[in-house]
Amino acid sequence: MLEIKNIYKSFGNLQVLKDISLSIEKGEIVAIVGPSGAGKTTLLQIIGTLEKPDSGSVLFNGTELIGMKDKKLSAFRNKNMGFVFQFHQLLPEFTAQENVALPALIAGTSKKAAMDKAADLLTHLGLSDRISHKPSEMSGGERQRTAIARALINDPEIIFADEPTGSLDSANRQEIQDIFVDLRDRLGQTVVMVTHDSSLAAIADHIIEMADGRIIIPPAEQEAIRENIPHIEVEESFSVVDSLDSGGDRSENLIGDSVEEIRKSID
């Protein structure tokens, strides 16, 4: 499904990714683990087309994504990829239903169809009584489930999650973990996640461990360590929207239109 070949990335004089190559198969959960500063989030950004490498290749079902024009890439990303961030990145002035519907509206889905599907997803994730609530009126776990619903609205081929349980308590972490397992087992959903949470990493089909910008556990050896995942201390880490070279709010890049334009489409 995804083939990442010989990826290099530097920020100024700091080389953060060094010759990264890996494959991701459809219907599997992949966890990228390692200490802060290992290059995990930068790799996730590049695979998710939010960042460009200095060199290398990212093939998505045979389509080369590196070098694709921005407008075409934005449309491709909106259709094929969903994103879940550590701090949910919901737009505060929109309700849960509106936040979830946004990517579908941008993709050209009718308002009624987008809002109906958003309501269905929220209901499936146990949020039927929060559909009309704004993010400030929801708990951390409810906001994160809303973000997962938003990631699913366009039936993406793959979901990228950057520390999706990093800001949650143990009960809510377990809920998010159960959702990812259900999505894989019931729908065959592909998930690639960066995490410091060893219990979340434990649900993965494959573990990619990184250090100093390199993969230190080759894919061929991942299955051998599947049942013996080391404890990883939770540390502060960058979310996708807080990348090293962030020049603005990446959440607006994902939805592709200004908040004002989207508000007009909803009102």
The domain limits of the chain are 2-266
What confidence score (pLDDT) does residue 224 get? 55
pLDDT score recorded for residue 236 = 35
User: How many Å apart are CA 40 and CA 45, to the nearest integer?
Assistant: 9
The dihedral built from the CA positions of residue 58, 60, 63 and 68, taken in this order, carries a sign that is: negative
| pLDDT for position 234 | 34
* Strand pairing class (81-84; 158-162): parallel
Which pLDDT score, from 0 to 100, does residue 264 have? 60
User: From first to last of its 267 residues, what are the pLDDT tens digits of the chain?
Assistant: 899 999 999 999 999 999 999 999 999 999 999 998 899 999 999 999 999 999 999 999 999 999 899 999 999 999 999 999 877 789 999 999 999 999 999 999 999 999 999 999 999 999 999 999 999 999 989 999 999 999 999 999 999 999 998 888 888 889 999 999 999 999 999 999 999 989 999 999 999 999 999 998 655 555 555 555 444 333 333 333 333 333 334 444 454 444 555 566 566
Closest CA to 141 of 115, 116, 178: 178
Give the whole-angstrom CA distance, residue 202 versus residue 226.
8
Cα-to-chain-centroid distance, residue 8? 21
CATH of domain 2-266: 3.40.50.300
Query: What's the pLDDT at 228?
Result: 56
CA distance 186 to 80: 19
pTM for the full model?
Answer: 0.79
Q: Smallest Cα–Cα separation from 71: which of 229, 257, 242? A: 257
For residue 229, what is the DSSP state? P
